[in-house]
Structure 1
């Protein structure tokens, strides 16, 4: 392929591409939680970014690109912004410039609009695309910030042509047509449009699952720097880009995440006693910590399998969560933290509701008939309708819980069935 840098002596350098940092984002499941693990998760977004800045300084990178969503909305506490200024001050002392583009969450933030940043920080304007040039590196960076959260215009369309003889980087906060998961389709564009722009590298953010979408030119989502909930499970990173002789030479993930989210499946089909389930939870947590690569494991436990303990487990949700968190603490204060225990077991018997003498049996019969009662289903639909409509967008996506999933999908027969199993289990447990 023809090189625009033929006959030109080009310097070699590295730069960091990051985004979706969401500083001080409120992390779920921490209400009322105390201890070192909970505090570590609370400060995880800050620590991950601070560690990334440390890497930039120690690794002597040429510059850092932040492709949007540095903040997490309209924060009123200036400490969030002051933390960022402090980190940029560290970069300034090391002669490392930073190029910042504001994404949809930044557009909500009052801090973004008010704080004065160090002179090594260059923020892309929002009125039209802007180009910053580093003449000593022969680098040109093109980008446009979001003016408002719901930016649905194709911003990339107006990005300027590449600067000849320079390594051209397009910085863009985009859902890329909305084809990359449950993200609002902000700044929509197509992959072909980016590829044909003539740039050498596209530094994208907004889609939290990082990935290389195209090579030569390279189109890359950096991914979010630190997972904030179970939907951001697995390793999270920034990208370290190496440029040699004016061409991209390599991409390497930089893992600075502090807490690593993970789903931990606990099969309990072979458990005969409640205590066996607790032992299985302990064993599964211990095994999962080995894959966290020395980071704090933040996990959701899911009990699975067909078991005669199904009803007892339904009725023991608070105890199961307490036992799981005790098991995590038993490994050390900063080894593992349990966000939730989800019961996805099924009854090992053929009938979902077992007959039982006396009042419990009468209740079971009534509940079994209730699932087919159109009047009751209509009443439940009416009662739950307002509640479901008020759910935040994130909560509506987070439907691992069977009862919540049934309610959101308006499967009210399943809602009654789940409630029946729970009531039966609680009454049975109280009779023992």
Structure 2
């Protein structure tokens, strides 16, 4: 592929032209961006979204002569190449930014104006932290592996925040390669938007390769045409380009990970078979590496900002160093501005309410130390003897007291668990315990439904005011679990009282 310097497309620019056999490969130079030169370099489909020549001209985009003949005008990149020559190739990998998505379980905290501002702006702040980190580190490129947005923009502010970050990266000469995921497959953002020419979006109907020859990189990827992609995209990805560091960008559920929709399903073997140096994954919100021997060949970066109690711990992005392309070196960088944490407190058998509060304060202090001062959202679980647990459940002031001893953090919820009965008082007869546990284990939701129907019949009418949901398998399973626990607790208390 030859670059044509100072050609008919303007002084100081290189034009990457299609040659035989290139097909969907795009050669991209690299150099300082300019706010004034913005191009709608969007590949949401097999061809740029140029509905007519006039629209294309206004956007600074040339209508392609055909779906497979396209030229990409990019900065020359000569100054950059001289500065970076000999330095190890590095990229930043981020995914699942979900900019401006809503947080779960924090309605109570919204009455505090400072907390409300922190919560509502958390995903934007984390994105800004990602951009600022890139500006400091100056990687060769950044990849965004899907779900950058949480669906259609909720406000024009979403557009402004994202474009501001992309423009800053363009001005620093950092190209971005972005694939859409299930949440932003139909996002308005992917249409009718003018982007910096340094932002390259993978098409959604076929995979494409963007080549960055100055850096020795090739990026292969495909986005989502619809929110539910149920076939494997990875199996259609192209072969690696010889002599370059090949990076796949893919939003997928690898290995049918539980708790996540099985979109673009594939296996670790599918990724290994690509023979890329690295595959940057999105969709799963926890960090995970896929290793072949001592080589990481793919990874989930996790999401950028935790949004619920299901997403605990530090969140951020990865720096991938290809000093040895056969063994990429991954470094995690926390970028979240708000962090979810569980506090597990087990009360002693003779504990008082004050003792429990003291224990909560100690665990809170430890959590703050672990997270180096990052603001925390707490879900606190108190495990106590049945009598104390019951007392705390009905104490309307206890949650406020917990909030008082966890000052500086947001309290999402307090839950209570009765300690196992074999930890309190004389043990229940082993055979009786085994019978109770076996009986509870043998029950099914269908059994509970049948038993409750009989109760309803004997009550000669519906169970008014009840919270029984016979249509919920999860609810019925919880009834079974609680029934066994409660029966064992009563047996334990009776056994303890009889021996005293």
5 Å-filtered alignment, 1:156-175, equals: 156-175=234-253
Does structure 1 residue 227 correspond to structure 2 residue 306?
yes
Aligned-residue Cα RMSD (Å) equals 3.0
* Structure 2 residue aligned with 1:298: 377
The answer for the alignment partner of 1:23 in structure 2 is 99
User: Which residue in 1 is equivalent to 2:273?
Assistant: 196
Are the equivalent residues in 2 in contact too, given 1:308–1:349 (CA < 8 A)? no
Q: Which has the larger radius of gyration?
A: 2
Shift of 1:31: 1.4
2-structure distance, mates of 1:409, 1:311 = 21
Compared CA separation, residues 200 and 319, structure 1 to 2 (3 A): same
TM-fit CA distance, 1:81: 2.5
Q: Hey, what does 1:345 align to over in structure 2?
A: 418
Question: Do the aligned partners of residues 40 and 350 (structure 1) sit closer, same or farther apart at CA in structure 2, a change above 3 Å counting?
Answer: farther
Q: What is the CA distance between 1:108 and its match in structure 2?
A: 4.1
Partner of 1:92: 170
Superposed displacement of residue 146, structure 1: 0.5
Report the secondary structure of 1:195's partner residue: helix
Distance 1:345 1:92, change over 3 A: same
**Unpaired runs of 5+ in structure 1?**
1-8, 330-334, 352-370, 390-404, 422-432
Shift of 1:377: 6.5
Determine if the alignment matches structure 1 residue 66 to structure 2 residue 144: yes
Deviations 1:315-373 (A, max 9, x none): 12x422222222222xxxxx32111101113486899xxxxxxxxxxxxxxxxxxx976
Task: Give the superposition deviation at 1:408.
Answer: 5.5
Structure 2 counterparts to residues 412-423 of structure 1, below 5 A:
414=482
Kindly indicate whether the alpha-carbon contact (under 8 Å) linking 1:138 and 1:166 is maintained by their aligned counterparts in 2. yes
Alpha-carbon distance in structure 1 between the residues aligned to 2:192 and 2:415: 43
1:174-205: CA deviations, max 9, x gaps? 10131x23111111112112112121111111
Name the CA shift for 1:340/1:264 in 2 (closer, same or farther; >3 Å): same
- Cα 1:81/1:409, change in 2 over 3 Å: farther
Q: Which string of whole-angstrom CA distances, capped at 9 and with x for unpartnered residues, describes residues 234-272 of structure 1?
A: 122211011226554421111111122111111123454
Give the structure 2 partner of residue 120 of structure 1. Answer: 198
Name 1:44's counterpart in structure 2.
122
Give distance in 2, aligned partners of 1:217 and 1:100: 22
Query: Alpha-carbon deviation of 1:374?
Result: 4.7
Is structure 2 residue 156 aligned with structure 1 residue 78?
Answer: yes
CA distance in 2, matches of 1:350, 1:66: 58
* Structure 1 match to 2:320: 241
Contact 1:30/1:38, CA 8 A, preserved across alignment:
no
In the alignment, is residue 145 of structure 1 matched against residue 223 of structure 2?
Answer: yes
Aligned-partner Cα distance in 1 for 2:93–2:236: 22
Residue number in structure 2 paired with 1:313 = 392
1:384 corresponds to 2:462: no
Q: TM-score, normalised by structure 1?
A: 0.78
Q: Secondary structure at the match of 1:182?
A: coil
Q: Please, what TM-score do these two structures have when normalized by structure 2? A: 0.68
CA distance in structure 2 between the partners assigned to 1:382 and 1:278 by the alignment: 31
1:189–1:38: structure 2 CA closer, same or farther, 3 Å change rule?
A: same
Contact preservation (8 Å) 2:296, 2:328: no
After superposition, give the CA deviation of every residue in 1:89-125 in whole Å (9 maximum; x if it has no partner).
1101111111110000111423333433221111001
For 2:402 and 2:131, the matched residues in 1 are separated by 35
Rounded Cα–Cα distance in structure 2 between residues aligned with 1:310 and 1:377: 30
For structure 2, which runs of at least 5 residues remain unmatched after alignment? 1-84, 428-449, 490-500
2:258 maps to which of 171, 181, 195: 181
Q: Structure 2 CA distance, aligned partners of 1:171 and 1:302?
A: 39
Q: Distance in 2 between matches of 1:226 and 1:108?
A: 22
Give the paired residue count: 369
Change (3 A) 1:374 1:241: same
* C-alpha distance in structure 2 between counterparts of 1:127 and 1:413, whole Å: 48
Structure 1 CA distance, aligned partners of 2:456 and 2:336? Answer: 46
Deviation string 1:376-412 (CA, Å, 9 cap, x unpaired) is 36866995246x49xxxxxxxxxxxxxxx6x253636
